[in-house]
Amino acid sequence: MKYTEISHFSHPQHKLKFENSEFPFKCDGCKEVGIGSRYKCTMCDFDLHMHCAIPAPKIFHSFYTKCSFQFFSRPPGDKPRFCNACERDVTGFVYHCKDCGFDLHPCCAKLPMVLNDGEIKLYLYRKVSASCLKCGRKGRSWTYRSSCKKYNLHVACVKDMLMENWQGYIGEKSARKFHTRIPSLKNTLLIHNGRKSKSKIGWEMAGLALQFVISAVLGDPTTLIAGVIGSMISKAW
């Protein structure tokens, strides 16, 4: 459900307006990166992912059938917490299962089980026993896997990649800087993977897979956003 304007408990002084951002932003709810749909207070430069702006009090996830995840605006307890999906720290909004102590970022909890644009289909798994395109490791965090099973990408690795590349940019308004930072996504993949002999077609497919996973991980898996990122990546590819 999309509203053009909402009031939010985390920013009671002003209304938040819905907008589409083609540049990355830092969500003031979960403290993670976002792109695409967001709720914003322009006066204070306060941003929320759609999933963070309109959270459900309680959710269930098909990977953890016995769990009931409750929404918290800050991580419960004093111990540092991390997200079971992406392995990153939980420092803001979180879905938490009291029984098991599992945590999920709001956007991670809402990662689509299937990303499909007609050409490429990626399925979300809790664990995959094949090497990740970026880190080469097996297991680890949640993974998107192509239907041909050739491409596996950890949700954690996609987030790492974005943080490495966008560090220092997030929150700034310069679009130029953002564009110049995109090409290093390709370098990251090549350096860590070392499969230089791979055919160009293979890399294009990997790039396509990557752009879908990126937009999903950033909280808005729409084709529009995938297209925006895609056009920037393909320039570099």
Which residues make up the interface to Zn ion (CB under 5 A)? 14, 27, 29-30, 41, 43-44, 49, 52, 67, 83, 85-86, 97, 99-100, 105, 108, 132, 134-135, 154, 157
For residues 213 and 225, the answer to whether their CB atoms sit within 8 Å is no
When the beta carbons of 101 and 180 are compared against Zn ion, the nearer one is: 101
When the beta carbons of 24 and 29 are compared against Zn ion, the nearer one is: 29
Which amino acid does the sequence have at 198? K
Q: How far apart are CA 106 and CA 141, in angstroms?
A: 16
List the beta strands (DSSP E) in 120-203.
121-125, 143-146, 152-154
When the beta carbons of 108 and 124 are compared against Zn ion, the nearer one is: 108
When the beta carbons of 84 and 205 are compared against Zn ion, the nearer one is: 84
When the beta carbons of 108 and 205 are compared against Zn ion, the nearer one is: 108
For residues 149 and 202, the answer to whether their CB atoms sit within 8 Å is no
Q: Residue 178 CB, nearest distance to Zn ion (Å)?
A: 19
Q: Residue 232 CB, nearest distance to Zn ion (Å)?
A: 22
When the beta carbons of 2 and 235 are compared against Zn ion, the nearer one is: 2
Q: Residue 65 CB, nearest distance to Zn ion (Å)?
A: 9
Q: Residue 57 CB, nearest distance to Zn ion (Å)?
A: 16
Going by C-alpha positions, the residue among 184, 189, 225 that lies closest to residue 206 is: 189
Q: How far apart are CA 53 and CA 204, in angstroms?
A: 35
**Tokens in use for 174?**
């310069």
3-state secondary structure of 104: strand
Going by C-alpha positions, the residue among 179, 187, 192, 183 that lies closest to residue 153 is: 192
Q: Residue 24 CB, nearest distance to Zn ion (Å)?
A: 12
For residues 149 and 200, the answer to whether their CB atoms sit within 8 Å is no
Full strand arrangement of the beta sheet holding 11-26: 5-8, 11-26, 33-41, 46-49
Q: Residue 176 CB, nearest distance to Zn ion (Å)?
A: 26
For residues 166 and 174, the answer to whether their CB atoms sit within 8 Å is no
Q: Residue 187 CB, nearest distance to Zn ion (Å)?
A: 16
When the beta carbons of 14 and 121 are compared against Zn ion, the nearer one is: 14
